[in-house]
């Protein structure tokens, strides 16, 4: 819209004083509000206005009786800013004529129905809405957000988050022309890009250190439900449903193109004839067998993983996490509980659980690995990041490893630093953004030069623990294991052969002809560090000898010599397999991730309250993107994302 002239606040005042009462709106008011406004008491909303005439100077929005004559007579103030040609309107450069048209409203709980929104320029009334209907804040049929979210919980309450900010800081909603840099093209970075696109943010770029998208992509399968007998019950594991929802969304987005299709199939987690561990520890003589048995029983009683606890974690992992924090399960590992809470000796403790164990007793993985039904993705889990390709590849910068970030307080921009041409260059190359979403594991971020974040966030970046893991997959001429005297049809087993760990067989193309692959070794924690020190050839040969020991000489005859080996601790893009918070770290560091500092949002499985799963990375992206949108004052967009992806648990 091209305005024919500029109208000053003084001119408006003059026009109002000449025959127009102070509390009346001129027939052609300067500001018009959207129609049909409904406010939730104690909720949050975006308010949209249009400019019927130019306005330069102060603009403030208020709620109160529909006959008020001045801002002081109103019930409360939404916020104030400067617009148009006023010098203080410079921060609104991204808005047309520096006149923003979208604002944030946090109606207080005592708001009365039937009032109006009022726009003032100074003391001059320049616009008034129709009467506003007020409703109680919506409560979902599931657990209310306030019951499961707090400073130590997995999510922030959107209203509380905005209330923590200075009123005018969050008042003006940002223009969607803001530039956003997404550092890291793993699952959380890809999901962030998808979510931004979905609400109309298109000026983003993914900066990826490697030459592909997908990140670590170590997982193999997704738990779906637990089945019980006596009494019969099937408990669905709800959180991983986000992965299946994403597959459906991407398939639809890609027009079900077979090249990018994400097709979920059954995964066989356990099957007859899988390798089994026949423990040589069965005949061990403990220093005090009675004390060991009592210690084991005492820990199991404390953790209390009965059917009800399994159901609670499977049904609402957010609420279960808050309960675990509130009841002290993050204060002790199993070994720590035995030693410090029960005062067991070091020796008894170590006989029950290694004294190396310093992981909190947060038992979500016990639930996942108790699943009786699983799914995987046909053609491998790389199909999932591949399906993002049509959306993100033309906005991804590959082989660009960020080495630092610097914040310019005057421009409110973050600059990324990298050295693509020569790693010995003193001065880095740079690119700048209005906001940055960091989707890189802290195991790599801690190598960067960073702005001065809060002490808590800085410590989280520097100290958060990561576990290690190694996998070796061996290629064979045929799927011989399916034709042994005791056939092996899918599933994962274990072996006593040192540092082999799990052995897994493919769940797809059962009994088909042609070549096949066995995951011959999947080992994590300290064992992965030991095998990680081996050369590729040494490690592969070691695993191949184990396959011959397990399956017989046919494994020697059928081996093609081809293999895939990966140890994530020594991966230049990962420096660790997944986040493994030590006792005290999760409940301390988690709140730091839920506050945006210097226009930076951190996402990734390490910022979630569960770790090592694709769903954890996706969940962090939903949280991080919603957080980013709320920081920009884009309440409607944040609501849209959480309603679509997290509506089972989150209320905004």
pLDDT in tens, 317-364: 888 998 999 899 999 999 999 999 999 999 999 999 999 999 999 999
Distance of CA 596 to the CA centre of its chain: 14
Residue 237 is assigned to a structural domain of this protein = no
The count of other CB atoms within 10 Å of the CB of residue 611 is: 22
460 shares its domain with 592: yes
Residue 89 is assigned to a structural domain of this protein = yes
Task: Note whether 65 and 76 are within 8 A (CB).
Answer: no
Q: Which long-range contacts (CB under 8 A, 24 or more apart) does 144-150 make?
A: 144/651, 145/649, 145/650, 145/651, 145/652, 147/319, 148/316, 148/318, 148/319, 148/322, 148/649, 149/318, 149/322, 150/322
What is the reported pLDDT for 136? 82
Give CA–CA dist 306/301, Å, rounded: 9
Judging by beta carbons within 10 Å of its beta carbon (0-12, 13-18, 19+), is residue 18 exposed, middle or buried? exposed
17 shares its domain with 82: yes
Please tell me what DSSP assigns to residue 131.
P
| Strand extents, DSSP E, 229-290 | 233-236, 264-267
For 3, 589, 652, the CA distances from 44, given in Å and listed in that order, are 32, 27, 8
Q: Which domain CATH number covers 550?
A: 3.90.660.10
| Helix (H), strand (E) at residue 245 | helix 241-253
453 shares its domain with 597: yes
Tens-place pLDDT, residues 28-70: 589 999 998 999 999 999 999 999 999 999 999 999 999 999 9
User: Rounded to two decimals, what is the model's pTM?
Assistant: 0.92
Q: How many C-alpha atoms does 386 have within 13 Å on its Cβ side? A: 14
What is the reported pLDDT for 249? 97
Give CA–CA dist 357/520, Å, rounded: 26
557 shares its domain with 477: yes
For 137, 339, 456, 608, the CA distances from 582, given in Å and listed in that order, are 38, 16, 16, 14
Residue 338 is assigned to a structural domain of this protein = yes
Structural domain boundaries enclosing 328: 280-368
Residue 381 is assigned to a structural domain of this protein = no
Mutual angle of helices 614-631 and 241-253, in 10-degree steps: 70
Task: Note whether 129 and 29 are within 8 A (CB).
Answer: no
Indicate the number of domains in the chain: 4
Last residue of a domain, one of 353, 368, 383: 368
89 shares its domain with 26: yes
Last residue of a domain, one of 523, 543, 570: 570
Residue-wise burial string across 100-132, b where 16 or more C-beta atoms lie within 10 A, e elsewhere:
bbbbbbbbeeebeeebbbbbbbbebbbbbbeeb
Supply 390's token pair: 């049509």
Last residue of a domain, one of 535, 570, 605: 570
490 shares its domain with 555: yes
Residue 560 is assigned to a structural domain of this protein = yes
Tens-place pLDDT, residues 586-613: 999 998 998 899 999 999 999 998 999 9
What is the reported pLDDT for 8? 42
Q: How many C-alpha atoms does 319 have within 13 Å on its Cβ side? A: 18
18 shares its domain with 96: yes
Beta partners for residue 522, in sequence order: 471, 502
548 shares its domain with 611: no
Torsion of CA 213, 217, 223, 224, to 10 degrees: 10
Give CA–CA dist 185/395, Å, rounded: 11
Closest alpha carbon to 412 in 94, 184, 23, 39: 94
What is the reported pLDDT for 140? 45
Task: Give the ranges where 95-165 is alpha helix by DSSP (H).
Answer: 145-148, 158-163
Closest alpha carbon to 474 in 564, 381, 552, 567: 564
CA distance from start to end of the chain: 34
Residue 413 is assigned to a structural domain of this protein = yes
SS3 letters for 294-325? HHHHHHHHHHCCCHHHHHHHHHCHHHHHHHHH
Closest alpha carbon to 376 in 384, 364, 365, 368: 384
The pair phi, psi for residue 317, each rounded to 5°, is -65, -25
Q: Which domain CATH number covers 105?
A: 2.60.40.2840
Judging by beta carbons within 10 Å of its beta carbon (0-12, 13-18, 19+), is residue 427 exposed, middle or buried? exposed
477 shares its domain with 508: yes
Residue 504 is assigned to a structural domain of this protein = yes
133 shares its domain with 160: no
What is the reported pLDDT for 22? 39
Within the chain, which residues score under 70 in pLDDT? 1-28, 137-156, 278-284, 647-652
454 shares its domain with 431: yes
Give CA–CA dist 355/251, Å, rounded: 47
551 shares its domain with 630: no
Closest alpha carbon to 180 in 155, 199, 167, 157: 199
Residue 258 is assigned to a structural domain of this protein = no
With vertex at residue 291, the alpha carbon angle to CA 288 and CA 296, rounded to the nearest 5 degrees, is 125
Q: How many C-alpha atoms does 399 have within 13 Å on its Cβ side? A: 5
| Helix (H), strand (E) at residue 248 | helix 241-253
């Amino acid at each position: 819209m091209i305005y024919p002239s500029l109208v000053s606040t003084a001119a408006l005042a003059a026009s109002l004083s000449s025959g127009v009462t102070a509390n009346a709106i001129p027939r052609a008011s300067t500001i018009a509000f959207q129609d049909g406004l409904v406010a939730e008491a104690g909720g949050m909303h975006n308010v949209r206005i249009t400019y019927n005439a130019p306005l330069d100077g102060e603009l403030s929005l208020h709620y109160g009786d529909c006959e008020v004559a001045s801002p002081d007579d109103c019930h409360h103030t939404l916020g104030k800013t400067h617009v148009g040609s006023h010098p203080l309107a410079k921060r609104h450069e991204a808005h047309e004529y520096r006149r923003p048209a979208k604002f944030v409203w946090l109606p207080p709980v005592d708001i009365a129905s039937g009032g109006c929104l009022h726009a003032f320029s100074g003391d001059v009334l320049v616009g008034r809405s129709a009467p506003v209907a007020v409703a109680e804040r919506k409560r979902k049929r599931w657990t209310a957000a306030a019951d499961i979210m707090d400073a130590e919980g997995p999510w922030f309450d959107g209203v509380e988050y905005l209330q923590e900010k200075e009123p005018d800081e969050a008042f003006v909603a940002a223009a969607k022309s803001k530039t956003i840099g997404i550092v890291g093209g793993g699952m959380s970075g890809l999901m962030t890009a998808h979510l931004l696109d979905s609400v109309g943010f298109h000026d983003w770029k993914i900066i990826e250190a490697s030459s592909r998208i997908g990140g670590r992509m170590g997982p193999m399968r997704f738990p779906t439900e637990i089945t019980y007998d006596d009494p019969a019950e099937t408990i669905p594991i709800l959180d991983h449903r986000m992965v299946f929802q994403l597959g459906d969304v991407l398939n639809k987005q890609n027009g079900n193109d077979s090249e990018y299709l994400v097709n979920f199939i059954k995964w066989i987690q356990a099957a007859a004839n899988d390798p089994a561990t026949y423990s040589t520890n069965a005949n061990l003589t403990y220093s005090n067998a009675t004390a060991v048995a009592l210690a084991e029983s005492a820990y199991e009683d404390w953790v209390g993983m009965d059917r009800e606890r399994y159901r609670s974690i499977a049904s609402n992992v957010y609420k279960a996490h808050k309960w675990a924090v509130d009841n002290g399960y993050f204060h002790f590992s199993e070994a720590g509980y035995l030693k410090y809470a029960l005062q067991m000796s070091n020796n008894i403790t170590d006989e029950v659980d290694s004294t190396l164990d310093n992981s909190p007793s947060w038992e979500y993985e016990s639930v996942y690995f108790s699943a009786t039904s699983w799914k995987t993705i046909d053609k491998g889990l790389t199909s999932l990041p591949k399906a993002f390709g049509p959306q993100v590849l033309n906005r991804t910068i590959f082989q660009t490893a960020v080495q630092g970030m610097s914040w310019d307080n005057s421009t409110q921009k973050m600059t990324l630093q990298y050295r693509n041409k020569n790693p010995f260059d003193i001065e880095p190359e740079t690119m700048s953004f209005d906001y940055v979403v960091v989707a890189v594991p802290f195991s790599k971020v801690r190598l960067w030069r960073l702005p001065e974040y809060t002490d808590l966030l800085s410590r989280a970046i520097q100290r958060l623990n990561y576990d290690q893991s190694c996998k070796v997959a061996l290629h064979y001429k045929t799927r011989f294991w399916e034709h042994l005297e005791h056939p092996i049809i899918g599933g994962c087993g274990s072996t006593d052969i040192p540092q082999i760990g799990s052995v897994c067989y493919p769940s797809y193309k059962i009994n088909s002809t042609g070549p096949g692959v066995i995951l011959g070794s999947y080992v994590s924690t300290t064992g992965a560090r030991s095998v990680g020190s081996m050369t590729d050839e040494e490690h592969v040969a070691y695993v191949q000898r184990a396959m011959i020991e397990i399956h017989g000489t046919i494994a020697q005859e059928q081996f093609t010599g081809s293999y895939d080996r990966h140890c994530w601790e020594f991966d230049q893009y990962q420096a660790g397999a997944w986040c493994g918070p030590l006792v005290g770290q999760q409940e301390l560091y988690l709140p730091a991730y839920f506050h945006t500092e210097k226009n930076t949002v951190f996402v990734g499985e390490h910022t979630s309250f569960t770790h090592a799963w694709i769903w954890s990375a996706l969940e962090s992206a939903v949280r991080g993107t919603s957080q980013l949108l709320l920081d920009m004052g884009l309440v409607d967009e944040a609501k849209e994302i959480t309603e679509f992806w997290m509506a089972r648990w989150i209320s905004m």
